[in-house]
Structure 1
Amino acid sequence: MQTEDGFTVLDISSREAVAVQEVKLPGGPETGNFVYIRPVYGMPLLKSQRMMKLGSELILIFLTGAVLILSARRPLRAIKQDLSTVELSNLKGAMIPTDKAPLELLPIIEEFNEMVGRLRHSSSNQKQFAATISHEFRTPLTVISGFIQSVLNRGEEHLLDHHKQALGIADTEVLRLNRMLSDLLDLSRADNQQLSIRREAFELIPNLEQVLKLAKAAYGNPITDNLKELPYLEVVGDPDRLVQCIGNLIGNAVKYSEKGSPIDLHVSSDDSKVTVCVSDHGQGIPADQLDTIFERFTRAEGVVLPKGESSTGLGLSIVKMLMEAMGGTVSVRSTVDEGSLFSLQLPLSDQP
């Protein structure tokens, strides 16, 4: 396109900014001027500046987003950590603080805290109920057992055989109920931090002899031991609770073994601890159940309860609770159809 000033415009379709430079050509007026036109964004310097600006804007956006994400995740991580520590046995510390919580989460946190409050109230009522029932039932059961024993002892010559058998079964069931109530009472006291466990030095052998005497009188299975081969051993713990733990293990061994199958009590020691093992040749426990048998109200799947026997799933959980309270441990090894071996460990008294 020819203009009135003598310029020829070749293309005016571009909307980009341009830079214009005019240079006077030599040769006088007739030669005219040379006008140099180029797009501004085509210059190398401006291209670099443009890329630097774009890069800095992207970095700023990224940093801003990262700061916002981290600031939002920090309270969420704190809330997640608080939730991971919530346990039914300790609901006092389950409340989530609301002072630093995000506004969007406040309604959820407040509702959660109200729910925890309701659970605390319900849990407290259940623990109190279990403790009261266990305590109140033990006295009449003890009286009933006493009368049964009195009748059996005084009227032995005058009772028919089937009467003696019936009274013996009744006495056995009373004793079983008494043990169950004792277990429930121990669990209730432990949940309320009221379980009294001693940690004192005591001689081990006499207490094991007491356990064996009671077990041999209660069960028909032969029970072997190595107590006569042992040196003097003094351990730290609660002697009464240790007798209770070993009694529970022997009772389980008899329950899940064939009638007349031998049970063994074996004691060993090293420089720091004593290990008391109770082994049987019974059904055994599947390997995938060994981690769950010490949980409350849990019985191993695949293990068949003998006819006429019952189980609350409390015995092993009681053993674990008492051993840990004494500063000891309990463990198990078992093979299906071959038997099980439970090991109790307590520190020697000369250990710090």
Structure 2
Amino acid sequence: MRRLLRLLSLRVRLLLLTATLLLAGLALVTTVVTGQLERYQLDRVDTQLRSFTALLAQMPATAPTAPSAPVVTASPAMIDPALDLIGAPYLVYLDGGGAVVRDVHTSGLDRATLPAPGALRGVPADGAPVYLPGADGTSRWRAVARPTTGPDGTAIAAAPLAAADATVARVRGTSVISGGVLLVLLTAAGWYALGRGLRPLRRIEHTAAAIASGDLSRRVPVDAAPGTEIGHLATSLNTMLGQLERAFAARAASEARMRTFVSDVSHELRTPLFVIKGSAQLYRMGAVTGHGDADEAMRRIENEATRLTALAENLLLLARLDDVSETHLDRAPMDLRTLATDARHDLRALDPSRPVELTGPGGDGPPGPAPVHADEDRLRQIVANLVGNAVAHTPAGTPVRIGVGTADGRAVLEVADEGPGMTAGQADHVFDRFYRTDRSRARSGGASAGLGLAIARSLARAHDGDVELETALGEGARFRLTLPQLRQG
């Protein structure tokens, strides 16, 4: 049975459950109503019979003198109207020995259906009503007996229960028919109501099927009121679907970034490996004969090996920075002014023709104190990348300004140049790994792989800071390192 129920739809199961409960309720109501009606009929008959026996017990029974004398002497024309008026009872007098002295009944009662004398003698004379079977065995009677006030005898009043039973049967039949009609109508109404009630669930099913087919943008229509169970379910499902869509989008973006990263790494590794392989092949083929040629080949191999080493170290650093729990920072109190001063010396050493100015943040006033609690070596790496970026992407002799101090409660070090600047599209990707604004630019050294700014931002964020860029085409670029300020005292 359970297996069969599991095969049925929720709508059918709910309808079967409600129909079963309704049928049980109708059956209970019918049983209670017919039982109460039958009890009422019996109480009414018992009340009448007690009244009759109380009257009969006060009236003396005149026994016939001859054995063959007739028991019923009254005329039916006189007896029938009177007895029919009071419910057509069967009135009987028994003598002390239990023999029938006199009995009275309407002519409409067949004597074969009357209670047998033996059954009448078994009726208790205390006025308690009892059931008696008819002599033919098909009818039921209700009888009450009391002792007479005259000679030793018993007065009995009995009434047939055929009319009461017919009334109860008619009520029971009417209840069954009307209950069946009501059950059919309510089942049809329930089928329609359940169909409308379960319509949001069908929409949820269709939405789930569409999502399973790959349409992650689908949402469940919220047709029900927000306070209902269906409304809560639809809202929760839409929230979950939004999270799933974002998770899948993030996963797709991560996979795309990984493919781009692998492609860029492969591209960066391929050039130095080709140079090393080509130089080695030339040497093996005997093309490198002179001492100077051998030195040049070794120099190229050494340069490309150095580039590979720098690239590998940068990739390893980025991998460590991606997992902050594994990033080890040797923090200590320091001042960014030290890094700014060293950066100015580095710029002059790289390009003596460049004017280098040391100012406060934004070029306002002299450089100010910028105390931080940070790893000095990592911060020097950030500043070196920013300085190297300014040298690599601006013409020789382009002025550079280094600003240091505090702004908005944070320590700031900025490197601003007056070079060609970048477009908005270039600025959006300048911190991406392996991104270069000039793809045709010759590469030399690890920084040219397009990892310098990505490393700088990752290191800054590991210090709870950031590296920001302000630029416009033809207006130069300003890279701004911000870090939490170390509170003194």
TM-score (norm 2): 0.39
Matched position secondary structure for 1:196: coil
Separation of aligned partners in 1, 2:378 and 2:409: 21
**Change in CA separation of 1:208 and 1:86 when aligned onto 2, cut-off 3 Å:** same
- State the distance in 1 between where 2:408 and 2:326 align: 33
The corresponding residue for 1:275 is 412
- 3-state DSSP class of the match of 2:198? helix
| Counterparts of 1:235 and 1:88, CA distance in 2 | 35
Deviation at 1:174, TM superposition (A): 7.6
How far, CA to CA, are the matches of 2:439 and 2:247 in structure 1? Answer: 41
Point out the more displaced range, 75-84 or 336-345.
75-84
CA distance in 1, matches of 2:300, 2:401: 27
SS in 1 for 2:326: coil
**Match for residue 244 of structure 1 among 377, 381, 384:** 381
Residue 221 of structure 1 deviates from its aligned partner by: 4.7
Deviates further, 200-209 or 73-82: 73-82
Matched, 1:348 2:485: yes
- The one-letter code of the counterpart of 2:382 is C
The change in CA–CA distance for 1:201 and 1:283 in structure 2 (over 3 A counts) is: same
1:61 aligns with 2:61: no
Inter-partner Cα distance in structure 1 for 2:419 and 2:204: 57
Q: Structure 1 residue 170: deviation in Å?
A: 9.8
User: Quick check: 2:336–2:404 contact (8 Å CA) kept in 1?
Assistant: no
TM superposition shift of 1:321: 0.6
Other structure's SS at 1:260 match: coil
Task: Give 1:233's match in structure 2, choosing from 370, 378, 383.
Answer: 370
Match of 1:182 among 303, 309, 313: 313
* CA shift in 2, pair 1:340/1:175, >3 Å: farther
Query: Normalising to structure 1: TM-score of the pair?
Result: 0.53
Q: In the alignment, does 2:430 pair up with 1:293?
A: yes
Offset of 1:317 from its aligned partner? 0.9
Q: Does 1:195 find its partner at 2:327?
A: yes
1:256-275 alignment, distance < 5 Å: 256-270=393-407, 272-275=409-412
For the pair 1:326 / 2:463, whether they are aligned, the reply is yes
Which runs of structure 2 are paired with 1:1-352 in the superposition (5 Å)?
A: 59-70=193-204, 73=208, 74=237, 77=241, 79-80=244-245, 82-84=247-249, 86=251, 179-191=310-322, 194-222=326-354, 223-226=356-359, 229-270=366-407, 272-300=409-437, 303=438, 306=441, 311-350=448-487
The Cα of 1:53 is off from its aligned counterpart by: 9.8
**Number of aligned positions between the proteins:** 231
Shift in Å, 1:218: 3.1
The 3 A distance-change label for structure 1 pair 89 and 82 is: closer
Alpha-carbon distance between aligned partners in 2 of 1:232 and 1:191, rounded to the nearest angstrom: 31
Are the aligned partners of 1:221 and 1:254 in contact in 2 as well (CA < 8 Å)? no
Question: How far apart, CA to CA, are the structure 1 residues paired with 2:381 and 2:469?
Answer: 18
d(CA) in 1 for partners of 2:201, 2:477: 57
> Partners in 1 of 2:357 and 2:394 — Cα distance?
15
Distance 1:225 1:286 in 2: 27
Q: For residue 343 of structure 1, give the secondary structure of its aligned residue in structure 2.
A: strand
Quick check: which one's helix share is greater?
2
Distance 1:87 1:325 in 2: 26
C-alpha contact 1:234 1:349 (8 A) present in aligned 2: yes
Q: Which amino acid aligns with 2:422?
A: I
Shift of 1:343: 0.9
Once the two structures are superposed, residues 268-287 of structure 1 have per-residue CA deviations (whole angstroms, 9 ceiling, x without a partner) of 31351122111112221111
Q: Secondary structure at the match of 1:299?
A: coil
Residues 351, 396 of structure 2: 8 Å contact kept: no
Q: For 1:207 and 1:338, locate their aligned partners in 2 and report how far apart those are by CA, in whole Å.
A: 25
Unaligned 5+ runs, structure 2? 1-185, 209-236, 270-296
Q: 1:326 Cα shift?
A: 0.6
Distance 2:305 2:404 in 1: 32
Q: Which amino acid aligns with 2:378?
A: R
CA shift at 1:332, angstroms? 0.8
**Contact 1:187/1:318 (<8 A) preserved:** yes
Shift of 1:339: 1.3
Percent of aligned pairs with the same residue?
A: 25
